[in-house]
């Protein structure tokens, strides 16, 4: 049992040795009485020495182990610090990503807020426009009602005047009949008196003749007197009867207008001439572009003029309000400005006569003209056709404003070539897209027939477009043709480039198409030409226009309208047949 005051652990690592105090005499003692523990171990047995060495070895092992632990701890600390640094970097990256996400979300929220604000603004603006449109519609309706009331009032006044005039004519006719009757009675009385006198005179002459005969008989029965050798030869005149045959006056011939007479061969010949012009116009575009490249900056300028004209053609609006008229006038002036600029470009030049079907140039006139102007006029005509197809096929009323623009441009003296209009450029495109207007027919069931009718081709599938799409194109072109050819130039100083007779000729050629060649396309074009154009037709052609409408809308569909397999009229035919009722309802026009 160990003492409580002395440790039982004898390992060198746990021993606490007190260094011996050095004495003056050189003796090493502890506290002056005891020997040092080391000194005592040195004097002990070898086992103690071995124990001490073993203790030192353990101490060294502990020191090495502790050093190893310290190194491992240091390495682990480095790893932990590196991991912490990596974690901190990742944390910062995550924080940065979170900040970016937060900013993105905030931007999205801000964008959504602005979008909602813009939508609200647009909704408010749209509501405002709708309100304005409603107001304008209401104003137009009121104006239309006022106009209708005014027209009804004028119609009633006109009807009243006609009735009064008819009553006056009836009374005048009655008075005239009474006067004629009284005069006839007087004449009959005079003729009766004259006849009585003639009979009395005849009786008197007969009685006189009878008396002379009786006297002659009495003289013959009496003895003949003595004559001195000379007998007076008396002769009795014998009356001679003369008869006169009245001559009949020849009857005056009625002034009947001659109809349009042209053979199919003649129409096809003219049609081919326009198609040739259409092909040459395509070649002309490439030629002019190549020639403009030779003049520095001219190609870009011509392209800019072309784009401006294309943009302006799409800005034409329908309607008769002052705002619409001002807008259309502004657009027209912009187009005129581009064409005027091109007309002043003398070079390059081109032979203009090759784009005219009828060359009406004076002898010896220069056939060269500004190529840039011809290029832009061709592009303008192309845009006009495009507007008819895209807009007028949906809303036929839009054709009127487009037709006005076309006639204004082609009638301007600045764009005439030696006094002749270049509207053949536009007619060439009409011959290409709507040949039925010029008396060209073909079957809708064959490729050749569709090609002759101007049937469109889908560029994607390289096949003919659907029937309805073709009919829509024909409807727009028919409405546009009427808008161009029914213009009134009586108050204009310029000559009409599309005389009204062209409309009459086209309608007559459609109506006079042989029954076996009539197609639904004819009725689609016919309806488009007449619809919304009846007032101008009557104001242009008068009573002849009414007769033309009767022939086109009543007799033509009933006599030549094609039928389906069940013997029913096709929808295009019935649509034309319904137009007289529409005209009677809307315009009070009875055919």
Q: Which residue has the higher pLDDT, 260 or 198?
A: 198
Q: What is the pLDDT of residues 405-443, one digit of tens each?
A: 999 999 999 999 888 999 999 999 999 999 999 999 999
% of the chain with per-residue pLDDT over 70: 82
Per DSSP, the residues of 60-92 read: HHHHHHHHHHHHHHHHHHHHHHHHHHHHHHHHH
pLDDT score of 36: 55
In a 3-state reduction of DSSP, which class is residue 30?
A: strand
Q: What is the pLDDT of residues 485-526, one digit of tens each?
A: 999 998 889 999 999 999 999 999 999 999 999 999 999 999
Per-residue pLDDT at 403 exceeds 60: yes
CB of 288 within 8 A of CB of 282? no
Q: What CA–CA distance (Å, rounded) separates 148 from 574?
A: 29
pLDDT score of 228: 37
Q: Which residue has the higher pLDDT, 41 or 591?
A: 591
CB of 383 within 8 A of CB of 311? no
CB of 480 within 8 A of CB of 402? yes
DSSP code for 435: G
Give the residue carrying structure tokens 């315009």: 587
pLDDT score of 156: 82
Q: What is the pLDDT of residues 341-394, one digit of tens each?
A: 999 988 899 999 999 998 877 777 788 999 999 999 999 999 999 999 999 989
% of the chain with per-residue pLDDT over 90: 44
Q: What CA–CA distance (Å, rounded) separates 341 from 302?
A: 10
> Which of 389, 385, 365 lies closest to 377 in space, CA to CA?
385
pLDDT score of 248: 32
Q: What is the pLDDT of residues 521-578, one digit of tens each?
A: 999 999 999 999 999 999 999 989 999 999 999 999 999 999 988 889 999 999 999 9
Per-residue pLDDT at 189 exceeds 80: no
Q: What CA–CA distance (Å, rounded) separates 341 from 471?
A: 38
pLDDT score of 242: 33
Per-residue pLDDT at 134 exceeds 90: no
Q: What is the pLDDT of residues 139-185, one digit of tens each?
A: 888 888 888 888 788 778 877 877 777 777 777 777 777 777 777 77
Q: What CA–CA distance (Å, rounded) separates 234 from 113?
A: 143
pLDDT score of 38: 54
Q: What CA–CA distance (Å, rounded) separates 552 from 570?
A: 16
pLDDT score of 146: 83
pLDDT score of 206: 62
Per-residue pLDDT at 337 exceeds 90: yes
pLDDT score of 7: 43
| Positions of E strands within 413-534 | 457-458, 463-464
* Pairing mode of beta strands 21-22, 463-464: unpaired
Q: Which residue has the higher pLDDT, 462 or 342?
A: 342
DSSP code for 276: H
Average per-residue pLDDT for the chain:
81
> Which of 488, 494, 481 lies closest to 525 in space, CA to CA?
481
């Amino acid at each position: 049992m160990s003492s409580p005051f002395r440790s039982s652990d004898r390992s060198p690592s746990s021993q606490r040795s007190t260094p011996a105090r050095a004495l003056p005499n050189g003796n090493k003692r502890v506290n002056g009485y005891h020997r040092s523990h080391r000194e005592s171990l040195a004097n002990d047995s070898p086992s103690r020495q071995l124990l001490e060495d073993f203790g030192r070895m353990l101490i060294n092992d502990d020191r090495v182990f502790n050093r190893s632990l310290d190194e491992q701890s240091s390495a682990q600390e480095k790893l932990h610090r590196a991991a912490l640094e990596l974690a901190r970097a990742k944390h910062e990256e995550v924080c940065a990503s979170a900040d970016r996400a937060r900013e993105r979300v905030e931007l999205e929220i801000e964008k959504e807020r602005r979008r909602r604000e813009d939508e609200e603004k647009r909704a408010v603006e749209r509501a405002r426009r709708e309100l304005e449109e409603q107001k304008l519609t209401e104003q137009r309706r009121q104006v239309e009602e006022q106009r209708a009331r005014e027209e009804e009032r004028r119609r009633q006044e006109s009807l009243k005047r006609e009735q009064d005039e008819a009553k006056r004519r009836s009374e005048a006719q009655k008075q005239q009949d009474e006067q004629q009757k009284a005069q006839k009675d007087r004449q009959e009385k005079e003729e009766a008196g004259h006849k009585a006198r003639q009979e009395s005179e005849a009786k008197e002459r007969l009685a006189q003749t009878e008396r002379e005969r009786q006297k002659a008989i009495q003289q013959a029965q009496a003895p003949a007197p003595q004559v001195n050798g000379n007998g007076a030869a008396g002769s009795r005149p014998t009356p001679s009867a003369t008869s006169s045959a009245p001559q009949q006056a020849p009857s005056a011939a009625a002034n009947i207008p001659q109809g349009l007479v042209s053979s199919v061969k003649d129409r096809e010949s003219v049609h081919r001439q326009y198609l040739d012009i259409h092909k040459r116009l395509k070649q002309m575009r490439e030629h002019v572009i190549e020639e403009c490249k030779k003049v520095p900056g001219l190609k870009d300028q011509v392209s800019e003029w072309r784009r401006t004209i294309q943009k302006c053609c799409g800005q034409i609006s329908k309607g008769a309000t002052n705002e619409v008229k001002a807008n259309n006038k502004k657009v027209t002036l912009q187009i005129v400005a581009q064409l005027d600029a091109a007309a002043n470009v003398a070079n390059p030049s081109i032979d203009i006569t090759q784009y005219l079907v009828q060359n009406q140039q004076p002898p010896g006139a220069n056939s060269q003209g500004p190529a840039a102007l011809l290029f832009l006029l061709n592009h303008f005509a192309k845009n006009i056709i495009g507007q008819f197809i895209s807009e007028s096929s949906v809303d036929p009323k839009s054709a009127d404003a487009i037709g006005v623009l076309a006639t204004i441009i082609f009638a301007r003296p600045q764009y005439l070539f030696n006094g002749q209009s270049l509207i053949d450029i536009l007619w060439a495109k009409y011959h290409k897209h709507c040949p039925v207007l010029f008396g060209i027919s073909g079957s809708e069931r064959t490729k050749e027939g569709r090609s002759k009718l101007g049937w469109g081709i889908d560029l994607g599938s390289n096949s003919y477009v659907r029937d309805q799409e073709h009919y829509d194109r024909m409807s727009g072109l028919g409405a546009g043709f009427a808008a161009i050819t029914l213009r009134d130039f009586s108050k204009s100083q310029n000559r009409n480039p599309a005389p009204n007779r062209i409309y009459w000729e086209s309608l007559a050629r459609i109506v006079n198409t042989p029954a076996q060649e009539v197609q639904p396309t004819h009725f689609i074009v016919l309806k488009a030409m007449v619809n919304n154009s009846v007032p101008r037709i009557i104001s242009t052609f008068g009573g002849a226009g009414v007769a033309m409408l009767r022939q086109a809308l009543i007799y033509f569909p009933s006599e030549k309208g094609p039928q389906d397999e069940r013997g029913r009229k096709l929808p295009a035919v019935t649509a034309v047949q319904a137009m007289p009722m529409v005209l009677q309802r809307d315009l009070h026009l009875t055919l």
